[in-house]
Structure 1
Amino acid sequence: MEIQFQSDIGKRRNMNQDYANVFINQAGMDLAILADGMGGHLAGDVASKMAVDGLGAAWSTSTIAQPEEATQWFLQEIQKINEAIYQEGIAHPEMQGMGTTIVSTALLDETFVLAHVGDSRAYLVQKGQLQQLTDDHSLVNELLKSGEITEEMAAIHPQKNVLTRSVGFAGEVKTDVSQHQCQPNDYLLLCSDGLTNMVSEADILAIVESDQSLETKTKQLIDAANEAGGADNITVLLIHFEGEARP
């Protein structure tokens, strides 16, 4: 298994509020996390870094190796992160209202467990097909699912960035958690909306399936989003399940 990730400020933003990292626990299992922060000056990047570092620290001391354990762990730990970010905003009024998306995967041999809140996405590339594994927690996606707007309307909707769920707010956060099987030569892509709002799924698939190194593919996805306008921060985390699912 190989993992590469890269984050870029894009062409139109003054700062990068995305954050990603990979951690390993006491059982030798990897956790990949990507977060897209929101909020005023500095607040969004504080929220995303708190989410990634907080989850990563908790994972690093765990001994989780089974999917059911990982599912419960995600539900508990993302709630703790939600409360921590909310309290940080209360303690620092200039950061009040900050929040973040989270998309994360625990890589457990031939199984991976996904958890997400917000509109950062996970895709599985398997046998030449690109499958979105996450469901955007956004106003536009709710309108799309209810049939009130078409996919073409959704792509240019003025409230495209309005989230229905995020991490860092009062009360209980609802986290979507799912278990998936992976096969040799599959790819798992975690990304912020700075990629998916700028690059089509067909182009993403073509890059991931190209005959390049994983590092080059990651850079090419970033470059494609910037070439299309780079309207937002762009973060890409790409996992290749090579041969055996784990080294």
Structure 2
Amino acid sequence: MEIEFRTDIGRKRKVNQDAVGIFKNKENLTLALVADGMGGHQAGEVASKLAVTDLGKLWEVSKLTDKEEIIQWLIKTIQRENEIIYQKGQADVEKTGMGTTIVAVVILKNYLIFAHVGDSRLYMLRGDTFEQMTEDHSLVNLLVQSGEITKEMAEVHPQKNVLVRSVGIPGTVEVDVTDLETLPDDCFLVCSDGLTNMVNDDYIATIIKKAPTLEMALEQLIETANGMGGKDNITALLINVSGRG
């Protein structure tokens, strides 16, 4: 297994509100995290870093190996972090309303378990098929699902960035968790919307397929997103199951 990531401030932002990290627990299982913060006065940066740091520290002291136990850990830990971020936002007027997306991926021998809240995404590249495995928790995605607008309309919708679910909301946040069996040569991309809003899925897949290494694929993804305008922070993390490069 090979894993690499890159994060970039982009061309328009003054602060990088994305956060990313890779952590190993006591049983040497990997947890990969990508978070995209939101909120004024750099509060988004605080929320995303808090989520990645807190989840990472808790994972490092765990001894989890069982799939069902990991699924429950992801749900409970993200819900706990939701409460922490919400309370910190309430305690500081400059951070009121801060929040973050999260994609958390645990890598087992033949399985991938991933949990997410918000519109940061996980994609799977298997052979020639590049598929989004997460469902955006956004207003426009709800409108697409209800048939009110098309996917093409969603791309240019004025409320495209409005989330209906994030980490940092009052109450208990619903966490989507999925597990899937991996195959040799599967490649997974975890990314913030700073990449997917600038570069379409087909082009992302082409870059990953053609790049000789994960590092070069990541460099090209960041460069392409910036070349298309770089309107937001850009974070991409690649997991190659076979580690073939």
Please confirm whether the aligned pair reaches a TM-score higher than 0.5, indicating the same fold: yes
Q: Could you say what the CA RMSD is over the residues aligned between the two structures, in angstroms? A: 1.0
Q: Distance in 1 between matches of 2:243 and 2:47?
A: 37
2:2–2:243 contact (8 Å) kept in structure 1: no
Amino acid across the alignment from 1:34: V
For the structure 1 residues 144 and 2, does the alpha-carbon distance in structure 2 shift closer, same or farther, using more than 3 Å as the test?
same
The SS at the match of 1:23 is: strand
Aligned residue runs from structure 1 range 160-171, under 5 A: 160-171=160-171
For the structure 1 residues 89 and 243, does the alpha-carbon distance in structure 2 shift closer, same or farther, using more than 3 Å as the test?
closer
Q: How far is 1:100 from its partner?
A: 0.2
Aligned residue runs from structure 1 range 123-202, under 5 A: 123-202=123-202
Aligned to 2:36: 36
Q: Distance in 1 between matches of 2:65 and 2:25?
A: 9
Amino acid across the alignment from 2:88: E
Q: Distance in 1 between matches of 2:180 and 2:209?
A: 20
Aligned to 1:26: 26
Aligned residue runs from structure 1 range 34-183, under 5 A: 34-183=34-183
For the structure 1 residues 243 and 40, does the alpha-carbon distance in structure 2 shift closer, same or farther, using more than 3 Å as the test?
closer
Normalising by structure 2, we get a TM-score of 0.98
Aligned to 2:12: 12
Aligned residue runs from structure 1 range 213-224, under 5 A: 213-224=213-224
Q: Distance in 1 between matches of 2:227 and 2:200?
A: 13
Q: Distance in 1 between matches of 2:243 and 2:41?
A: 45
Q: May I ask how many residue pairs the two structures share in their alignment?
A: 244
Q: Distance in 2 between matches of 1:211 and 1:11?
A: 24
Q: Distance in 1 between matches of 2:143 and 2:243?
A: 41
The SS at the match of 2:142 is: helix
Q: Distance in 2 between matches of 1:132 and 1:166?
A: 19
Q: Distance in 1 between matches of 2:166 and 2:239?
A: 24
1:66–1:108 contact (8 Å) kept in structure 2: no
Q: Percent identity?
A: 52
Q: Distance in 1 between matches of 2:103 and 2:239?
A: 14
1:184–1:243 contact (8 Å) kept in structure 2: no
The SS at the match of 1:209 is: helix
Q: Distance in 1 between matches of 2:92 and 2:109?
A: 41
Q: Distance in 1 between matches of 2:56 and 2:180?
A: 21
Q: Distance in 2 between matches of 1:243 and 1:192?
A: 23
Q: Distance in 2 between matches of 1:241 and 1:208?
A: 14
Amino acid across the alignment from 2:150: T
Amino acid across the alignment from 1:33: L
Q: How far is 1:211 from its partner?
A: 3.9
Aligned to 1:238: 238
Structure 1 residue ranges (4+ consecutive) displaced by more than 3 angstroms after TM superposition: none
1:191–1:235 contact (8 Å) kept in structure 2: yes
Q: Which runs of 5+ in 1 are unaligned?
A: none
1:9–1:16 contact (8 Å) kept in structure 2: yes
Q: How far is 1:243 from its partner?
A: 6.0
Q: Distance in 2 between matches of 1:222 and 1:34?
A: 15
